[in-house]
Amino acid sequence: MGIIFHYSNMPSYQSDEQSDKVIDSTVIKIAKFFKKDLTKEQEYNIYMHSIYPVRKYAHVFEFLVLYILVFLFINCFEIRLSNKLLYALLWCFIYAVGDEVHQLFVPGRTGRVIDVLIDMLGSSIGLLGCYIIKSKKWLYVNRCKQSKICLLFFRFIIKLYYDTREVLNMNKEGRFQTVLIILLAVAVVGMSIGFAALQTQLTINGNATFKAAKWEVIWDNSTVAEVENGTEGTYEVTNNNLNVNYTVTLKPNTSYKLTVDAINKGTFDAKLNSINFTGLSPAEVTSQYSPKISYIVTYGGTAYSQNTDTSSGNILLPKETGRTPLVVTLTYPMPGSEADLLDEDTTLTLGVQLNFVPVVE
């Protein structure tokens, strides 16, 4: 009964873990013995089909053993065999009901009538076995020797009974024995339920709301501005405000200036990680075409002439409100001499990328 109480007193997650261990060490190993190349899917299917039978067979075995032990205990009393068999069955029934009531107090466990019936199946098998063996005198052993296999608790109760009967000088009608057996069964069940009722279940219940977040660093198309000094230029904002494309034609003594703000509409602070030039960089234009053409790119008032890693700096766009202007300036100055003239129409591919990353605090 102590073993049954121990397993019934386990919370559901511990009971499931125990069942898993039993299945892994028995059913799965037996299956692998007959088929060594089991796949994980096959093992899982075997496991799922074994959970219920293994747990219910455990109920049958536990109460089969319990019936035998209870019968050996009751066999120490001088009553008819039929009464011994029925009293042992009654004891097991009372304990089965009490065990299911006990589980109502254990976190994650439930009490079920079907489990009581399965328990009684194990007890009935024990009753049948004890009847067959006892009726054929296979257990004709001195009652004092039989008591040795009972628990110390039962031995104490037996001694208490005989001492009480001697004091009261009662006869052997069996009525007091019957009442004592039933009272002992009820007392044991009451103790089991009592221990369960004394348990404390601590629970934490809560609700967590996770606010929506977004990452959105874009160009503000409302701030795009062109300053055309004798030039013809056009621009367009594409790809959900991620790209600004411009086209301009310059003649000597003209210039073009494009300004647009990078803004942070997201919920994270953004940091400028690097500036990369696609096509010719300002340094390359200066190297190849100075003083004929001037190309200047500034971000936040700082001029950048080549690819620059800014990750070690602290160039930030604060969340939701941050904005910083990027300015592209192209100048075709008046040639100072004939050598400064461009011999033919020249089209330059110019581009700049700003790479932002979220700030991790």
Residues facing residue 283 across a β-bridge: none
Residue ranges per structural domain of the chain:
2-197, 217-358
Residue type, 172: K
What local confidence, expressed as pLDDT, does residue 219 receive?
Answer: 92
**CATH fold for domain 217-358:** Immunoglobulin-like (2.60.40)
The share of the chain scoring above pLDDT 70, in percent, equals 78
- pLDDT score, position 306: 94
Q: Is-above-0.75 flag for pTM?
A: no
What pLDDT is recorded for position 262? 94
- 179 pLDDT more than 70: no
Please tell me which residue, 221 or 355, carries the higher pLDDT value.
355
Phi, psi of 337 (to 5 degrees): -155, 175
Quickly count: other Cβ atoms within 10 Å of residue 336's Cβ.
Answer: 9
pLDDT, tens digit, for every residue of 302-313? Answer: 999 999 998 888
Chain-wide mean pLDDT for the chain? 78
| Residue of 151 and 111 predicted with greater confidence | 111
Residue predicted with more confidence, 194 or 21: 21
Calpha distance 303→306 (Å, rounded): 10
pLDDT at 144 exceeding the cut of 50: no
Over residues 198-224, mean pLDDT? 81
**Residue 147 — very low, low, confident or very high, per pLDDT cuts 50/70/90?**
very low
Condensed to tens digits (0 to 9), the pLDDT of residues 4-32 reads: 766 666 776 777 777 777 777 777 777 77
**322 touches 316 (CB < 8 A):** yes
Residue 315: pLDDT above 70? yes
Quick one: average pLDDT of 29-49? 76
The residue among 201 and 318 whose pLDDT is bigger is 318
Decide if pLDDT at 291 tops 80.
Answer: yes
Q: Does 158 score more than 90 pLDDT?
A: no
Whether the pLDDT of residue 156 is over 60: the answer is: no
Question: 332, 252 in Cβ contact below 8 A?
Answer: yes
* DSSP string for residues in 240-252: TTTEEEEEEE--T
Give the CA distances from residue 126 to residues 66, 130, 169, 339, 348, in Å, rounded to whole numbers and listed in that order. 8, 6, 35, 116, 98
Q: Over the stretch 83-127, which tens digit does the pLDDT of each residue have?
A: 888 888 888 888 888 888 877 777 777 778 888 888 888 888 888
**Each residue's pLDDT tens digit, 246-268:** 999 988 889 999 999 999 999 88
Q: Averaged over 69-84, what is the pLDDT?
A: 82
**pLDDT score, position 152:** 45
What is the rounded average pLDDT of the residues 58-78? Answer: 84
Looking at residue 172, its pLDDT comes to: 45
More confidently predicted of 107 and 192: 107
pLDDT score of 301 more than 50: yes
- Residue 94, SS3? helix
Q: Is 66 exposed, middle or buried (0-12, 13-18, 19+ CB in 10 A)?
A: buried
Q: What is the pLDDT of residues 332-345, one digit of tens each?
A: 988 878 777 888 88
